[in-house]
Amino acid sequence: MSYRPIISNVEEASNNEKDGLYEFIIYLADGTQCRTFYNRYPEWKMTNISRLLKTPCPICRKDFICKCMENFGGVLQQQIIDNEWLEKAIAK
User: Which residues make up the interface to Zn ion (CB under 5 A)?
Assistant: 57, 59-60, 66, 68
Cβ of residue 56: shortest distance to Zn ion, in angstroms? 8
Cβ of residue 48: shortest distance to Zn ion, in angstroms? 16
Residue whose CB is less far from Zn ion, 46 or 66: 66
Q: 52 CB contacts (<8 Å, ≥6 apart)? A: 25, 33, 34, 35
Cβ of residue 57: shortest distance to Zn ion, in angstroms? 3
Percent composition of the chain: helix, strand, coil (DSSP 3-state, to 5): 25, 35, 40
